[in-house]
Amino acid sequence: MAGKMNDIMVFIIHDRAIDEEVNDMLQALAIKHYTKWKDTVGVGRHDPHLGDHTWPGLNNATMVVIGEDKKKELFDKARDLQTAFTSAGLRLFTVPVLDVL
């Protein structure tokens, strides 16, 4: 089965400290379906989040598939979240959905 022509996959990588706020953001946008990976590690542009004694922070990763028409609204809400929580990491990455089984 092919994905809808305008569907995109959005990976939301975020400090687990703002997980509840990310969930609230998705709920406010009526995005009900997602996949979440908890306690992920990684190194971005800021402090590493490796879950160890030196770098104890951890991230969560949330993946959603939405229509291209909802992308701007999601990104706007994410920018608002970044403004409210300046010390918590939050990144969004998009990938086109080409096929779905």
Q: pLDDT, tens digit, for every residue of 23-50?
A: 999 999 999 999 999 999 888 777 777 8
Q: How confident is the model at residue 3 (pLDDT cuts 50, 70, 90)?
A: low
Q: How confident is the model at residue 4 (pLDDT cuts 50, 70, 90)?
A: low
7-96 CATH: 3.30.70.120
Residues in contact with 88: Cβ distance below 8 Å, sequence separation at least 6, in sequence order? 14, 15, 17, 18
Q: How confident is the model at residue 100 (pLDDT cuts 50, 70, 90)?
A: confident
Res. 68: pLDDT tops 80 = yes
pLDDT at 1: 42
- Whether the CB-CB separation of 63 and 11 falls below 8 Å is answered with yes
- Per-domain boundaries in the chain: 7-96
